[in-house]
Structures are given as structure tokens and as C-alpha cells.
Structure 1
């Protein structure tokens, strides 16, 4: 006996409806966007747009990116419900100064802690934060403790490659974004509006 499309969709709907019925908690979620692929920060900024569409307040702290001419910053700084902080000194291979990078990361973390203590901020994006753990600029256990003690309804998105396992374990949602290929590998320059 062949199952019709309608029958398959009815079964699928029953499964999905059951999962929706079972998900009754309402609380803030910790999300990690990691991996070697393109789109970790871009995905986070898409959620920023979504939160703003719901009238929520957002705090963005960038840990590594030192440039302030990105399209996302130019757009989101114009929005009244966004607090945007560029805390990085640029990529570590550019600065080549571990102490300066560590101080910049700590200063960015201080701003992030203000957001994480403010229940009026519904979404906090900690962009490229994972590098602060890779290079030892921030204490992972202290950061996780602060993330887990944030206001109950506050969402947090952490982006960056090589998220440590302890951070992944603490998260509610982890997306590991892979890369099949990238235009840069073929000699295409980083283009405004797509890369920055």
C-alpha cells in the first residue's frame, strides 16, 4: 500500500505538534555559532534584526573585529534599541601584541557584563568571543558562570571559531557552521555588503 503525500504530511504534523506541545519552558537561550564556515556573525546579526522587529533591546559586543566601517554596524547603530561596542583591536595577526589584545578583550568583556546584568536587554551578541578563550585573554569558567547567571529571559549568542567544549556544553543551541568552499580561497577580495 502506497502512502499518499497527504498521509505523510499528517503523520509529520502529528510529530511536530507533539514536540511543540512538549516545549513549554519560556526562558532565555544561550546560542553558540561556531565552526570554520562563513556566516556565524551574519546569522547572529539576523537574530538582532529579528529581536528589533519585536521591539526588544539588544547589546552587541565585538571582541576581535576592530574596524568600524562594517555594514552591520552602520545599519544597527542607527537603531534606537541597539547598544553597539567594537572592543577588538583587529585580528591578532595584525596587532601582534598579546598584552594589548588581552586588555581589549577584558574591556570588551566589562561592557558585555553590563549588558548581561541588565534585564532590559533581551539579546546580547558576543561576536568573535571564542578567540578570547583560544588566546587565554578571558577565563572560560568565569565567563560561563556569568552567562549562566544572566537575567532569566535574556538570550545570548556567542560567535567565533573553535568554541571550547565547556562553552558548548553550557549552551542550549550550538550550530557548527562548516565550509565547503569560500570565494577568498579562489582569490576573490572581501566584498562590502557580503563580508563586511
Structure 2
């Protein structure tokens, strides 16, 4: 995709949704961190259903430690991999208290050192909580970047690196959300809804899917 096309693509995304937001529900950087950790291989909807009652009783590192791993497992048991996630969350809470005064660190290196936090999770927290122009390449962004011809790559890191190079600076802060939402609701995995895609004329994907009769 040529630079002029990329600029047009993000201009359209920005015009349709000037201030995109994550669909995870949170009030603090810590709540966001926990929600993103829970969202691995789970939907935002399922995470929100679990975190609403959880955060009502425990939404700080100390409160979750006081809750304990057993009760945390029960609170998130509707989410996939809940046993492992509960273990990692408790371990992360201990580190946050011992090393960061209960606050969420604002560097990728510190975040990725937390149990259960990989590059994608760190990028989401840095972008959403701290306003850094990182791009968390999940399955949606990976698919969209390749289909569009925006940033083709064989691995999430390769796609992330290429996106960082081609996205115009003015659009980098929100690019993460525009691409995720586009992949989630329009450029779907099995049946992309090309007939209602605002950037179909810029897209390299063939054949385009037709509108249902």
C-alpha cells in the first residue's frame, strides 16, 4: 500500500471514529492491566462480565492479594485459562506492591517482566493507560494488516514493526483501536463484510465478499 493510500485509510478511520476506545471496562491503569491479562484467548464481553463484580470488591493490588488466589479463581472461572491467569495476577500484584508501590509501571520492559504479561498486553497498557503510540498486534490487527496490504508480515512482531514504520505520526496513537475495531466488526475472519467497508477501494484483499441477498 502506498503512503498516500495509507494516509487516506487512516483519515477515513479518524473521520468515522475520532476518539476510539477499548471495549474493556476499567477506571484505573491497574484495572486495565488486570482486564487485559484476562482477555488473552477471551472476548472483551466475557472479561467485562467477570471484572464488574470483581473490581467492585477488589480493584487494587493489595485488595486482590487480600482476596486470595482461590477466591480470585472463582471470580474469573468463566474466562478461559482462569487458573493460570489467577496465579499470574496474584504474582503480579505482589511485584507491583514490592517494587512499584502498588502502581503500574510505564515502561515496556517493566511490564513484560510481570507474570502473564507479554508484549501485546504491555502495548495495550502503554497505549490505553499512558497514551503511548504503541500497537498491540492481536489476531484482528494481524489479519487486517495483511489483508489490506498495509503491513504484511508472517508474525505479530513483524506486522507491529512494519505498522510502526508506515502509519503517519498523527494517527499512531489511535491506530491500534481503529484496526482492532475494523477487524472485529467489518473485516471479520471468515466472512469479511467488504460491502460496507469504508476502505474497500484501498484494500488488496481478493476476492471481495458481496452483500448478502
Q: Do the two structures share a fold, i.e. TM-score over 0.5?
A: no
The answer to which structure, 1 or 2, has the higher relative contact order (CA under 8 A, 6+ apart) is 1
More helix by share: 2
More strand by share: 1
TM-score of the superposed pair, with normalisation by structure 2: 0.28
